[in-house]
Amino acid sequence: MTDFDYDLFVIGGGSGGVRAARVAAATGARVGLAEDSRMGGTCVIRGCVPKKLMVFASAYREGFADARAYGWDLTEGAFDWAQFSGQLHAELDRLEGVYRRLLDGSGVVVHDQRARLRDPHTVALADGRTITAKHILIATGGRPVRPDLPNADLGMVSDDIFAMKTLPRAMLIVGGGYIACEFAGILNGLGVEVTQFYRGAQILRGFDDEARDLIATQMREKGVDLRLGTDVVAMAPSADGAIAVRGSDGSDRSYDAVLFATGRAPNTRDLGLEALAVALGRHGEIVVDQFSQTNVPSVFAIGDVTNRVTLTPVAIREAMAFVETVFKGNPTPVDHALIPSAVFTQPEFGTVGLSEEAARAQEPVEIYATSFRPMQSAFAGRADRVMMKLVVSQATRKVLGCHIVAPNAGEMIQLAGIAIKMGATKEDFDRTVAVHPTMSEELVTMKTPVRMA
């Protein structure tokens, strides 16, 4: 039998790669891992975690106003970006340390440098060493991309937001996906004058239309200058250090900063994949089967680099399935059905299953939906509205989709996702006693469909 340096070598130290390395090592496998940046990957260092902390920070402005409406005598001060940023990066440092300690405690050998594939069982490290492994797992994630536009380098991408030294006074955000919309809400909440360009007819393409419409309306009411059907035509540096932007709507304006949130691409460049003839998709993603195996039998890939479902918990699930398949002798396909997710817009959006539009294209459905002013913000005099929506199969009565636009929608959709994953019917929801007074009780009290299709 050929003697390899490792049973498994992982390229990429994000959530998926680290989980696969640790769990494989726990089976007794010899595991190595290479990461040329910070341990923790996009989610921990430049994605979900710092973004959510910024969401928390940005929500206090409305919280102060609400507190006064509830009788608290307080004076709102100014937001101190420098103080927050310092604490933010200290927390990211702490989390990176946790990831490293977990790997060290698992017996995984970490190589803090870039690795490239040399052949189906060999990787070459940046320092010139070569390492052999029986199995190679690629978990290099994705990266934000800039549009093909002259002077696009003047703009930031999402990775750059967390490194800002100061907050801009006025900022243009280009894009209409969840990253663009989340940062529009965050920066608006922190006091930045936010303009958002999106070339499409409505933000959050691919999500439920009714939810998209409500979120767009609420974003505008909270102060975001959202311009649909609009894109950047030209941009150039201004004499005062700002960025002059011409929009396709005929607008000309200078902004202190521009953020491009116009898409992400899999990190497959310069990995040596082409030389091994590892199959790539049209967007550069690594093509894998249901067991995360590439067309080169010893090479596997998980997470955003495969462009299947680009969510951190999915990458972790793919890592666990990979270890079950390869190291525990239990072939385990990855289950990508009915994945709950949250978009941390303001208002927050939680969703699981089919949108109304997708469900209607599949089969006859009933739609149960309600929109109302929630008690907490209504008492404070705010015009915020929330939405609860169930998409139900007429034939099976199963709930095919659940969509919530409301504060803490992510927390609610996690629990609703359990029921829907189990195949709950509308009648199962109806039999559940409401928790009163809550927003989520509406999920079990909607008795009459608002429409059928």
C-beta pairs of 300-303 under 8 Å, 24+ apart in sequence: 300/135, 300/136, 300/137, 300/138, 300/326, 301/137, 301/138, 301/139, 302/16, 302/17, 302/20, 302/137, 302/138, 302/139, 303/12, 303/14, 303/15, 303/16, 303/17, 303/139, 303/140, 303/141
- N residues, the chain: 453
Averaged pLDDT of the chain: 97
* Catalytic site positions: 436
Domain 341-452: give its CATH superfamily.
Answer: FAD/NAD-linked reductase, C-terminal dimerisation domain (3.30.390.30)
Instruction: Determine whether 131 is exposed, middle or buried from the number of CB atoms within 10 Å of its CB (0-12, 13-18, 19+).
Output: buried
CA distance 350 to 357: 17
pLDDT digits (tens, 9 = 90+) for 396-437: 999 999 999 999 999 999 999 999 999 999 999 999 999 999
| CATH T-level fold of 6-144+265-327 | FAD/NAD(P)-binding domain (3.50.50)
Class of domain 152-262: alpha beta
CA distance 172 to 155: 9
Q: Which amino acid is at 85?
A: S
**Per-residue model confidence (pLDDT) at position 77:** 86
**Per-residue model confidence (pLDDT) at position 2:** 64
Token representation of residue 48: 């979900």
**Per-residue model confidence (pLDDT) at position 1:** 43
Q: Do domains 6-144+265-327 and 341-452 have the same CATH topology?
A: no
- The domain limits of the chain are 6-144+265-327, 152-262, 341-452
83: left (phi over 0), alpha (psi -120 to 50) or beta: alpha
pLDDT digits (tens, 9 = 90+) for 177-201: 999 999 999 999 999 999 999 999 9
**Per-residue model confidence (pLDDT) at position 76:** 79
Ranges of residues in the chain whose predicted pLDDT is under 70: 1-2
